[in-house]
Amino acid sequence: MRICYFGDVVGRAGREVLIQNLPRIREKLNVDFVVVNGENAAAGFGMTEKIGEEFFGAGVDCIVLGNHSFDQKEILPILDKDGRIIRPLNYPKDTPGRGMSAFKTRKGKTILVIQVMGRLFMDPLDDPFAAVDKVLTMAKLGKKYDAILVDIHGEITSEKMSMGHFCDGRVSMVVGSHTHVPTADAQIFDGGTAYQTDAGMCGDYNSVIGMVKDEPLRRFTRKIPGGRFTPALGPGTACGVFVETDDKTGLARYISPLRVGGRLIEIWPDIK
Give catalytic residue positions: 68
Residues present in the chain in total: 272
Query: What DSSP character marks residue 211?
Result: B
What residues have CB less than 8 Å from 254, skipping those under 6 apart?
A: 188, 194, 242, 243, 244, 269, 271
Which phi-psi region, left, alpha or beta, contains residue 202 (left: φ > 0; alpha: ψ -120 to 50)?
beta
What's the CA dihedral at 45, 50, 51, 55 to 10 degrees?
160
Q: Kindly tell me the sign of the dihedral angle through the C-alpha atoms of 108, 100, 13, 258.
A: negative
Q: How many CA atoms lie within 13 A of 210 on its CB side?
A: 30
- The amino acid sitting at 218 is R
